[in-house]
Structure 1
Amino acid sequence: MSPPIARSRRGFWLRLVPTALAVCYLPLADQPGNPVDGWAWAFGLGAAALFAFGRRIPLTMVLCLAALLVVCDRIGTHADVVVILATFAALIDLALQRDRRWIAVGAIAAGVGLFANFVDVPLEPLQPPFFFVVTGVIASLLGAPILLGLHLKAARLATAQAQQRAIELEQRRESEKAMVRATERTAIARELHDIVVHHVASIVLRVGVARHLDPDADPETAAALDDVHATGTAALADLRRLVAVLRDPATIEEEAHAPLLDPADLPDLLHQAVARSRNAGLSLDARVDPTVARLDAVRGLALLRVVQEGLTNVLKHAGPRASATVTVEATADGAVRIHIADDGPAAAQRPPQGGHGLLGLRERIDLLGGRFDAGPAASGWRVQAVLPAAVTPAPLAAGSA
């Protein structure tokens, strides 16, 4: 239950206090010589109902209760205690919701009602000392609920101002964070475009020139050059899309990689990665579950990067003549298991790794709540990863706040 709803329900029960007083007090006030008649019940429950449902009309409520005080005094019922309590509570509402002018009007009306109820007028002229004493008592009685209402009003205003300042501060912080992120993304995009994209474009151009200058090259060399050209062209297209995403302010609060992968294309992208490794001379047995096309973009990209980095490491460290297996399967609970193994030289015979590929994969999988493991196997090297099932938010229960 949210705090506003809790406060609303708590306020509703507090408005039933005069009703509870009427129900409890009037039977106790019933005496043999001075019975509680129907007028007492009508005025008592009427005043309680007026306070319970008159929150939106505080001035009208105070005026009606003041009139009830006069009527109760003229008729002589036992309901005056309930009406007086409801009047004091109504003055708190009036001080909370209205300005000083209407508070003064309500206080005067309530004062007249209390004066008529406390003093039998105009049976005899009031002596000045008695008049001032009664007036002071009534003013004190009326001042207490009004001051309480003004205090609650000031407290609410201070709380609202504090909340507004907190919201503005949080918005300012988010704006500053967005500005910093935008600056960083722009700097990264600039470096990618000016350095990485330039070099990759140069590689693609030079490979294309080499292929054109040697049209009679043996089939293996021609296939290798074609594969390098195709891979470089695809990398260049991805880099340009990434630069465009990094420079787009609309994607600052989104994952930068979301537009770079359509999950429906994931099986084909995995098969392309496998095909490139085979073209490089790697003997590769690959099994890819086609249901991975139903993955979301974030998990799909993580899966693709694990397979790409794993095969790159096989080519780098096990050699193009090694044998390897790639298995990508979806489990019944929606998770995805990835297993890449090769029969290359033992880990101790492999050169030390100076890159951050495996570290980046581990961080990517950890962010998704999965498991990642890479290390030597009985023969060669293995990479294992588990992508967890997507978390679906639980629906709110009916009637919950």
Structure 2
Amino acid sequence: MSPPTRSRSAFLLRLVPTALAVFYLPLADQPGNPVDGWAWAFALGAAALFAFGRRIPLTMVLCLSGLLVITDRIGTHADVVVILATFAALIDLALHRDRRWIAAGVLAAAVGLFVNFVDVPLAPLQPPFFFVVTGVIASLLGAPILLGLHLKAARLATAEAQQRAVELEQRRESEKAMVRATERTAIARELHDIVVHHVASIVLRVGVARHLDPDADPETAAALDDVHATGTAALADLRRLVAVLRDPATLDEEAHAPLLLDPADLPDLLHQAVARSRNAGLSLDASVDPGVAGLDAVRGLALLRVVQEGLTNVLKHAGPHASATVTVAATADGAVRIDIFDDGTAAKRHPPTGGHGLLGLRERIHLLGGEFEAGPGLGLAGWRIQAVLPVTAMAAGPA
């Protein structure tokens, strides 16, 4: 039950004495013993006191005990309603106050009930009758007090259980964060000690090779320069990625640079990826819609990674004489379609299933709510990658 619903139900329960007064007093109106205005005044007054006196339970009990005495002295029909309100107020008192205030409220209520029940002077009371009346009153007062204490204990137990659940959830989240931090640190260490080391070695060796043969033919020199530039850029990206893995707080700083891009630069970056593949010897026909410059940074990065990984797979698996086409088109509704197809025969015989590149692309596109397919082309010739990046809420705007 939600808090507003619980509060509404609790207030409706506090209207029970009011309902009793409304239904009981007309029934108690007899020809020889009519219900007068005092009865209505005291009954509705006691009901209103209970309905709105939740924050002052001891004062409420004291006032209702006084009304018990007054109604007995006047002799009205309101005593039933006042007694019920008193019992309910004792439940409130036991639920919200400590033992001292409970004892004071019980004593006051006992006096009111005793005066209300006993219509003879106190002096002539015989001990057996006195003890019987006292026992009955104690039993009547004990029931609401015990009920209130039980409700208080149940409420405390529920609060403690909820607190333990919150603490347990916080502890689990803390443990998960520690595990993720440990995993990130291990991955960063392996990247730095193995991958970064090898890429740095490649860059260094390519640079040395370029300077050892200054008279190399232009094609060889251009290929070496391209490998050196690509390796240098990859090395910088790896170092930034290692920094992000070791300290995610740097995600909003310079280390975030390789993880996001300026959408305005996206067409140029796509053309650079195509140019690198052509320089590597791939016959490639590319069509890039300039409208992709309007993508948000997250979708733009996903688009760039699909094209890069798709072209890498063509170079690795399509064979030396393959040709490929890359089509990147923005649809009228703001979605983006990517189609990368090659006619290589090696892809048919040995589809690229050994690595994690396509799996990573599939996960990246699905996280954005898009579609991704990779497999043999039509007629089982070549290999085709198709992806659709959907319109994001930011791109779509208000409906």
Q: Which amino acid aligns with 2:33?
A: N
For 2:271, the equivalent position in structure 1 comes to 271
Instruction: Please give the alpha-carbon distance, in whole angstroms, between the structure 2 residues aligned to 1:139 and 1:157.
Output: 26
For 2:304, the equivalent position in structure 1 comes to 304
TM-score, normalised via structure 1 length? 0.88
For 1:316, the equivalent position in structure 2 comes to 316
Q: CA deviation at 1:224?
A: 1.4
1:119 aligns with 2:110: no
Mapped contact 2:47–2:81 kept (Cα < 8 A): yes
CA displacement, residues 286-318 of structure 1 (integer Å, 9 cap, x when unaligned): 223534643352x44333221111011112223
Q: Which amino acid aligns with 1:41?
A: W
For 1:232, the equivalent position in structure 2 comes to 231
For 1:38, the equivalent position in structure 2 comes to 37
Answer with 266-275 or 228-237: which moved more: 266-275
- CA change 1:331–1:287 in 2 (3 A) is same
Answer with 39-48 or 283-292: which moved more: 283-292
Mapped contact 1:111–1:142 kept (Cα < 8 A): yes
Mapped contact 1:263–1:293 kept (Cα < 8 A): no
After superposition, where does 1:144-183 map in structure 2 within 5 Å?
Answer: 144-183=143-182
Q: Counterpart of 1:327 in 2: which secondary structure?
A: strand
TM-score, normalised via structure 2 length? 0.89
For 1:384, the equivalent position in structure 2 comes to 386
Instruction: Please give the alpha-carbon distance, in whole angstroms, between the structure 1 residues aligned to 2:182 and 2:259.
Output: 21
Answer with 2-11 or 318-327: which moved more: 318-327
Instruction: Please give the alpha-carbon distance, in whole angstroms, between the structure 1 residues aligned to 2:68 and 2:261.
Output: 75
Q: CA deviation at 1:278?
A: 2.7
For 1:395, the equivalent position in structure 2 comes to none
For 1:130, the equivalent position in structure 2 comes to 129
Instruction: Please give the alpha-carbon distance, in whole angstroms, between the structure 1 residues aligned to 2:26 and 2:247.
Output: 75
Instruction: Please give the alpha-carbon distance, in whole angstroms, between the structure 2 residues aligned to 1:59 and 1:287.
Output: 79
For 2:296, the equivalent position in structure 1 comes to 295
Instruction: Please give the alpha-carbon distance, in whole angstroms, between the structure 2 residues aligned to 1:83 and 1:243.
Output: 75
Mapped contact 2:326–2:341 kept (Cα < 8 A): yes
Instruction: Please give the alpha-carbon distance, in whole angstroms, between the structure 2 residues aligned to 1:334 and 1:66.
Output: 74
Q: Mark the runs of 5 or more structure 1 residues left unpaired by the alignment.
A: 393-401
Q: CA deviation at 1:342?
A: 1.9
Q: Counterpart of 1:326 in 2: which secondary structure?
A: strand
- CA change 1:247–1:125 in 2 (3 A) is same
Q: CA deviation at 1:324?
A: 2.2
Instruction: Please give the alpha-carbon distance, in whole angstroms, between the structure 1 residues aligned to 2:68 and 2:331.
Output: 77
- CA change 1:257–1:284 in 2 (3 A) is farther
- CA change 1:181–1:123 in 2 (3 A) is closer
Q: Which amino acid aligns with 1:363?
A: E
Instruction: Please give the alpha-carbon distance, in whole angstroms, between the structure 1 residues aligned to 2:115 and 2:267.
Output: 89
CA displacement, residues 242-299 of structure 1 (integer Å, 9 cap, x when unaligned): 10011015489xxx989711353444433332232233233231223534643352x4
Mapped contact 2:313–2:352 kept (Cα < 8 A): no
For 1:93, the equivalent position in structure 2 comes to 92
Q: CA deviation at 1:343?
A: 2.6
CA RMSD of aligned residues (A): 2.5
After superposition, where does 1:179-190 map in structure 2 within 5 Å?
Answer: 179-190=178-189
- CA change 1:196–1:100 in 2 (3 A) is same
Mapped contact 2:330–2:337 kept (Cα < 8 A): yes
- CA change 1:8–1:339 in 2 (3 A) is same
For 1:337, the equivalent position in structure 2 comes to 337
Instruction: Please give the alpha-carbon distance, in whole angstroms, between the structure 2 residues aligned to 1:258 and 1:72.
Output: 82
Instruction: Please give the alpha-carbon distance, in whole angstroms, between the structure 1 residues aligned to 2:188 and 2:63.
Output: 71
Mapped contact 1:278–1:284 kept (Cα < 8 A): no
Count, aligned residues: 387
Mapped contact 1:182–1:249 kept (Cα < 8 A): no
Q: Counterpart of 2:35 in 1: which secondary structure?
A: coil
Instruction: Please give the alpha-carbon distance, in whole angstroms, between the structure 1 residues aligned to 2:352 and 2:361.
Output: 18
For 1:284, the equivalent position in structure 2 comes to 285
Instruction: Please give the alpha-carbon distance, in whole angstroms, between the structure 2 residues aligned to 1:101 and 1:69.
Output: 22
Mapped contact 1:66–1:87 kept (Cα < 8 A): yes
Mapped contact 2:240–2:256 kept (Cα < 8 A): no
Answer with 109-118 or 123-132: which moved more: 123-132
Mapped contact 2:286–2:325 kept (Cα < 8 A): yes
Instruction: Please give the alpha-carbon distance, in whole angstroms, between the structure 2 residues aligned to 1:200 and 1:164.
Output: 51
Instruction: Please give the alpha-carbon distance, in whole angstroms, between the structure 2 residues aligned to 1:21 and 1:258.
Output: 72
For 1:80, the equivalent position in structure 2 comes to 79
- CA change 1:123–1:166 in 2 (3 A) is closer
Q: Counterpart of 1:260 in 2: which secondary structure?
A: coil
Q: Counterpart of 1:215 in 2: which secondary structure?
A: coil
- CA change 1:154–1:351 in 2 (3 A) is closer
For 2:192, the equivalent position in structure 1 comes to 193
Mapped contact 1:292–1:330 kept (Cα < 8 A): no
Q: Counterpart of 1:286 in 2: which secondary structure?
A: strand
Instruction: Please give the alpha-carbon distance, in whole angstroms, between the structure 1 residues aligned to 2:33 and 2:257.
Output: 82
1:14 aligns with 2:16: no
Mapped contact 1:370–1:388 kept (Cα < 8 A): yes
Instruction: Please give the alpha-carbon distance, in whole angstroms, between the structure 1 residues aligned to 2:256 and 2:386.
Output: 23
Q: Which amino acid aligns with 1:371?
A: E
